Amino acid sequence: MATILVKCTSCKKTEVVRHGYDVKGNERFLCRNSRCQTKTFQLDYIYQAKYPEMTNKIIEMAINSSGIRDTSRVLKISPTTVIDRLKQQESKLIQVNKPYLESLTQRELQELYPKMVKIEEAEMDEMWSFVGKKEEQCWLWHAIDHRTGKLLAYVFGRRKDEVYKHTGSY
């Protein structure tokens, strides 16, 4: 008899037991680690959006100026799922590209700083999408360094002046 060691997809611990089957007959597992946020999971999902790393791909595509429909088409998931994941992660996202700023030398940082303060030196853009009703629009505002094309700041929200001003305040 062969034994397969199953690790939790979230916490990577082996404190996992079988937890029945889903409606299509795929085996489910239960993580018994009390600190793990994910309680039940499957090893193979039919719907690609169920994989934990899919949220990271959605965020990366949004930061790189991909629209909601573009992201859903490329990742083969629903546009509703894309919007829901972005809304869920909004409070965890940092609106300034800190890894990029930390990679710059002091001289490059001094050259870049005025571009972040003056709107005239950066390129601002927005894109929107909706799911279901056009009245419930989701907007992504972002500021890009015109010279390098690097993302400086972004914000999700409605199409209001406060949201636009918030993007340019970095």
pLDDT digits (tens, 9 = 90+) for 37-93: 877 887 776 667 777 788 888 888 887 878 889 999 998 888 998 888 888 887 776
Q: Can you give the residue ranges of every domain in the chain?
A: 12-46, 48-93, 94-167
Query: CA 87, CA 138: separation in Å to the nearest integer?
Result: 10
Q: Calculate what percentage of the chain has a pLDDT beyond 70.
A: 76
Averaged pLDDT for residues 135-163: 72
Listed residue (18, 156, 21) closest to 88, CA to CA:
156
d(C-alpha 23, C-alpha 102), whole Å: 48
